[in-house]
Amino acid sequence: MKLAYLICFGAFLAAPGWSQQGDEDRPRELSSTEQRKGSGATHDIGSGAGNIGVGAAKGAGAAAKGAGKGAVDLATLHPISAAGEVGKGAVSAGKDVTVGTAKGSGKIARGVGKAFKKIF
């Protein structure tokens, strides 16, 4: 009878150790948000809109720079140089706006695709 009490008492003392030991040895499972590697749809769409805005701002800056240089050349009686500077500013502005729009549109399209993929 004393042996039965001793075994029950020993099992009672060892039981909390068994339950705690299993939690530490088991690897933690990652949640679905932790498993994602890429950016989300909203990040892509926002980043694309930002790229379009940056391209437009750079284009406006290039156009203003070309117009300013052209105005200085025209004021100093260099009309041919003035036309060249205004033309360079316009070309640079067009390039900046085109690049920003293309990059931004691509990111927005990727974000919209991710959103549709998530819905369907």
Residue 109 clears pLDDT 90, i.e. is over it = yes
Say if 114 falls within a structural domain: yes
Using one digit for the tens of pLDDT, what is the confidence trace for 8-44?
445 444 445 544 455 555 566 666 655 556 788 999 9
Say if 102 falls within a structural domain: yes
Residue 83 clears pLDDT 90, i.e. is over it = yes
pTM of the full predicted structure?
Answer: 0.64
pLDDT score for 34: 56
Domain that holds residue 111: 40-120
Say if 34 falls within a structural domain: no
- Give the residue, 56 or 36, on which the prediction is more confident: 56
Provide the Cα torsion 49, 50, 54, 57; round to 10°: 70
Say if 22 falls within a structural domain: no
Cβ(93)–Cβ(70) below 8 Å: no
In this prediction, residues 52-77 reach a mean pLDDT of: 94
Say if 5 falls within a structural domain: no
Number of domains the chain contains: 1
C-alpha 59/C-alpha 44 separation (Å) is 22
